């Protein structure tokens, strides 16, 4: 039997603390070798929709699977297929838009915990969409944030975002009229855009800034200019290999030069303590978040387990005839 979980059921289960713990665990498992990861791949019919798919396995929790989704002018549709590592059974189908928002925010939360200065208390965010909301929520779990500046191109959207997030986080979130004002002299900077042109200039960055760059996951997109990348003392990515395929910020700096790509640390090495992250308060640190499948699978595994305990979701019967045939052969 396969458990079908709807978006509303996922929202009733998945909290930010749960997501933070699961995402940090996913990097620990990459580091110790108990998790396997395949980078995202994409199919695109010119002028039509994209199909995106990414896979991972987690021997520790006993789940493997893939996230598959489409993007088109009408929006995005996400689904996680979760299988048992032991039996190969499809144990769950999970609607996964909210999962993606939460695990992306959680990855930045973990990166902020490990890389931002201990006394970091101010945040600037560029982009005010759904992903921006979970970015601020996760960061507020990692540091005691006192105020936030938010910028996006649409004045009304950024004002609405600032008002709503001030209420949710119970800290001042102020809309500002320029990207520079959302970056200059702040402790933590987040970029959450779909821009093909840089939205952050290196000259705006103060010593000691930590950056979570989550938006550019196509080669032609980038959020940070070359000077911003050059000024970073520590550059880490959720997956260096996936970055080589889709992180426009880094691709446009490093190209095909494999020696230069060694500057990019796999984040699992920092999470596990194998490689140091920030070593002094003057360093500028960058976490390049592409979004990787192991985050989805570990989070989905926890959602599935909680849903079973609470008897949530709807049971589906798949491959019934083949199951009956297998049972008959066993007899």
Mean pLDDT value across residues 83-100:
98
pLDDT of amino acid 221: 87
Residues whose CB is less than 8 angstroms from the CB of residue 300 and which lie 6 or more positions away in sequence, other chains included:
63, 65, 80, 82, 92, 94, 96, 99
Contact 14, 99 (CB under 8 A): yes
Size of the chain in residues: 331
* pLDDT tens readout for residues 168-216: 999 999 999 999 999 999 999 999 999 999 999 999 999 999 999 998 7
Residue 132 DSSP class = H
Q: What is the largest CA-CA distance in the chain?
A: 73
Tell me whether residue 67 is one of the annotated catalytic residues. yes
Sorting pLDDT into bands at 50, 70 and 90, what band is 324? Answer: low
Q: How far apart are CA 233 and CA 228, in angstroms?
A: 10
pTM given for the model? 0.94
The one catalytic residue in 11, 48, 67, 321 is: 67
- The answer, yes or no, to whether residue 323 has pLDDT greater than 60, is no
CATH 3.30.1780.10 fits 2-100+293-330, yes or no: yes
- The answer, yes or no, to whether residue 330 has pLDDT greater than 70, is no
Contact 233, 284 (CB under 8 A): yes
Sorting pLDDT into bands at 50, 70 and 90, what band is 82? Answer: very high
Q: How far apart are CA 128 and CA 51, in angstroms?
A: 25
pLDDT of amino acid 25: 98
Q: How far apart are CA 100 and CA 135, in angstroms?
A: 12
- The answer, yes or no, to whether residue 329 has pLDDT greater than 60, is no
- The answer, yes or no, to whether residue 300 has pLDDT greater than 90, is yes
- The answer, yes or no, to whether residue 288 has pLDDT greater than 80, is yes
CATH architecture of 117-288: 3-Layer(aba) Sandwich (3.40)
Whole-number mean pLDDT of the chain? Answer: 95
Give the SS3 label for residue 138.
helix
147-151 and 173-175 beta bridge pairing: parallel
Domain ranges of the chain: 2-100+293-330, 117-288
pLDDT of amino acid 252: 87
């Amino acid at each position: 039997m396969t458990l079908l979980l709807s978006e509303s059921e996922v929202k009733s289960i998945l909290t930010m603390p749960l997501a933070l713990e699961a995402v940090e665990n996913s990097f620990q498992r990459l580091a110790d070798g108990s998790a396997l990861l395949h980078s995202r791949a994409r199919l695109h019919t010119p002028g039509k929709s994209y199909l995106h798919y990414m896979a991972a396995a987690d021997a520790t929790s006993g789940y493997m699977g893939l996230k598959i989704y489409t993007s088109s002018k009408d929006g995005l549709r996400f689904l996680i297929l979760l299988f048992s590592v032991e039996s190969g059974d499809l144990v769950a189908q999970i609607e996964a838009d909210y999962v993606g928002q939460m695990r992306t925010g959680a990855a930045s939360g973990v990166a902020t915990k490990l890389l931002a200065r201990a006394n970091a208390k101010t945040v600037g965010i560029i982009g005010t969409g759904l992903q921006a909301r979970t970015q601020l929520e996760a960061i507020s779990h990692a540091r005691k944030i006192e105020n936030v500046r938010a910028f996006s191109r649409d004045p009304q959207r950024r004002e609405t975002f600032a008002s709503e997030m001030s209420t949710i986080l119970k800290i001042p979130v102020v809309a500002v009229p320029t990207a520079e004002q959302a970056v200059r002299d702040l402790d933590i900077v987040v970029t959450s855009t779909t821009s093909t042109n840089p939205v952050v200039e290196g000259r705006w960055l103060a010593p000691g800034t930590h950056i979570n760059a989550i938006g550019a996951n196509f080669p032609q997109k980038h959020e940070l200019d070359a000077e911003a990348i050059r000024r970073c003392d520590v550059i880490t990515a959720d997956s260096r290999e996936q970055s080589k395929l889709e992180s426009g910020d880094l691709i446009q700096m490093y190209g095909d030069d494999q020696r230069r790509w060694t500057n990019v640390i796999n984040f699992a090495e920092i999470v596990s303590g194998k490689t140091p992250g920030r070593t002094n308060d003057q360093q500028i640190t960058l976490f390049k978040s592409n979004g990787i499948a192991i985050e989805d699978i570990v989070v989905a595994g926890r959602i599935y387990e909680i849903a079973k305990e609470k008897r949530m979701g709807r049971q589906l019967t798949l491959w019934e005839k083949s199951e009956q045939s297998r049972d008959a052969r066993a007899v």
